[in-house]
Amino acid sequence: LPLHDALPISEGQIQLQISADPGQYAIEASTNLSSWAELSNFTTTGSSFQYLDPQTNLQRYYRVRQIPQ
């Protein structure tokens, strides 16, 4: 899925901007691109959504995965 932006905001937090069809999605993060942990999952009704990662000062990768219904 297209992850359009990963914007740093105050105190090391990251805001992700994602464009996707309405549905159910999981946001996952990894420090090594091998092991992934789910940070959140939710259902969207619009064509784009945002996720704010509250963890501060962590260097990690993100991915968005659609959850089959």
Q: Residue 6 above 80 pLDDT?
A: no
Q: Residue 5: how many CB atoms within 10 A of its CB? A: 10
pLDDT tens, residue by residue, 11-57: 778 888 888 889 999 999 999 999 999 999 989 998 888 888 887 67
What is the pLDDT at residue 11? 74
pTM over 0.85: no
What is the pLDDT at residue 31? 92
